[in-house]
Amino acid sequence: MPQHRLAPPPRRDTPARATPAGGRRANTVYACPECDTRYLGQQWCHDCNQPCVRIDRGGLCPHCDEPVTLNELLNTTPLVQPARRA
């Protein structure tokens, strides 16, 4: 009985994008549209019991330990402003 070999996987010319450790969500700042509380990596406001909106990529401030966006640290404006709920 002849042995069948599988073809090698297709070659990728572009390298796969690496995501940061913990995924993209872990490095994203979210804000509650009701109480304006910011969270790092959490998409739900437990005080208001509703979902948060994504602000931008960021992390914790080394001075006050509060979530801040990269644009705030670099003093730049994002390309797209997040939509605020009325």
Q: Give the per-residue pLDDT at 15.
A: 62
Number of structural domains, the chain?
Answer: 1
Apex 65 CA angle, 74 and 84, nearest 5? 60
pLDDT at 51 over 70: yes
Residue 31 lies in a domain: yes
pLDDT at 68 over 90: yes
pLDDT at 66 over 60: yes
Q: Domain of 57?
A: 25-74
Residue 2 lies in a domain: no
Helix count and strand count (H, E) for the chain: 1, 6
Q: Give the per-residue pLDDT at 26.
A: 82
Tens digits of per-residue pLDDT, 27-43? 899 999 999 999 999 99
pTM: 0.61
